[in-house]
Amino acid sequence: MKAVLIRRHGGPEVVEIADVPKPRPGPGEALLQVKAAGMNHLDTWVRRGLPGLKLPMILGSDGAGIVAEVESGPGGLAQGDRVFVAPGYSCGRCAACYRGEEPLCRDYRMFGENRDGVQAEYAALPAANLLPLPASLSFEEGAAFPLVFLTAWQMLVGRAGVRLGDEVLVHAGGSGVGSAAVQIAKLHGARVYATVGSEEKADKVRALGADAAINYRALDFLEEVRRLTGKRGVDIVVENVGQETWEKSLKALARGGRMVTCGATSGYDGRTDIRYVFSKGLSILGSTMGGRAELLTIAGLVADRRLRPVIDRVLPLDRVAEGHRAMADRTLFGKIILKP
């Protein structure tokens, strides 16, 4: 079968379309015929190299398809079922797992990072990671929402506790996580400001529901937040940029504000002025992924069209390198989906 494989770390040129044996599901696993696979920034980090990674590795953390093989028995999954992939897996028997806080499990891992992912014609995955794809959703939509909506949901709802009337700043509103965060914050009754890198993206992020878009290439986002909030600041900042924006993001918070971070794409060495943290009663919250319970909630909201996965383009699997380049130059609005 065809698969997106890396055998060594490096630039987009190390991503190859390899011919590899079709995987065979082990105990508790099912074989997924992949109909659509999502691309995520995690793919580029795995490609460039992360500590402890083993190669070769098939990339891809989320996707959707049809169950091709599954052991018969209790559990409900059957051959022919339309499903989407929950991107993370964990031990299933520790306190964090029983609480539904799988990402806090010491054995929490991701497809396409710690074991072969789903950018392939077939993938053997734990049956528990294959969740029902609502009938109203296409495979492409089913591949577009899991990782980014789960990340944004956990940040805003699970960690920052977004409430009706909150003012929320979302960085990189045109990114996968950003476009999800704008919609989730609006769904909870917040007023949302989103930073974007172009006027074209400003229009698109307003169409998603943002009350204002801030072109960070033309304007200082901190000054804009102060202007938009009458100098009060925002209640929540959704951070995934890191070093470039960290210090100003803290200064953009109102008293009692919460800054929640899920990444540091521009670097991890952000400066924190501790005086702001204690004198304004700020909270700095870390967040990564989320639990399967939240993923089912999100799937229902996507099926009802109350949340909308944003797809920039759909590419055939063998054009995956083009996707890596597009993610690097920040020209995307939303997600790239690969079709095996």
Helix (H, G, I), strand (E, B) or coil at 76: coil
**Site stretch for Zn ion (CB under 5 A), options 61-69, 94-102, 226-234, 297-305:** 94-102
Q: What residues does 16 pair with on adjacent strands?
A: 5
DSSP 8-state symbol, 264: -
Please check whether residue 113 is in contact with residue 42, taking contact to mean a CB–CB distance below 8 angstroms: yes
Two tokens, residue 165: 């009337």
Query: Dihedral of CA 62/65/68/71: which sign?
Result: positive
Distance CA 257, CA 253 (A): 5
**Per CB under 5 A, does 18 bind Zn ion?**
no
**Site stretch for Zn ion (CB under 5 A), options 97-105, 239-247, 274-282, 325-333:** 97-105
- Contact letters (x/-) for Zn ion, 26-55, by CB under 5 A? ------------------------------
**Per CB under 5 A, does 91 bind Zn ion?**
yes
Subset of 100-119 contacting Zn ion (CB under 5 A): 105
Which C-beta is closer to Zn ion: that of 105 or that of 131? Answer: 105
Two tokens, residue 25: 């599901």
Distance CA 193, CA 178 (A): 11
Q: Nearest residue by C-beta to Zn ion?
A: 105
Residue from 40, 44, 90, 151 that binds Zn ion (CB under 5 A)?
90
Residue 109 CB, nearest distance to Zn ion (Å)? 11
- Give the interface size with Zn ion as a residue count (CB under 5 A): 5
**Strand 15-19 to 63-70 pairing:** unpaired
Residue 97 CB, nearest distance to Zn ion (Å)? 3
**Site stretch for Zn ion (CB under 5 A), options 83-91, 184-192, 230-238, 332-340:** 83-91
**Per CB under 5 A, does 128 bind Zn ion?**
no
Closest CA to 138 of 65, 197, 44, 203: 65
Please check whether residue 326 is in contact with residue 336, taking contact to mean a CB–CB distance below 8 angstroms: yes
Which C-beta is closer to Zn ion: that of 98 or that of 268? Answer: 98
Residue 113 CB, nearest distance to Zn ion (Å)? 17
- Counted residue by residue, the chain has a size of 340
Residues at the contact surface with Zn ion, assessed by CB under 5 A: 90-91, 94, 97, 105
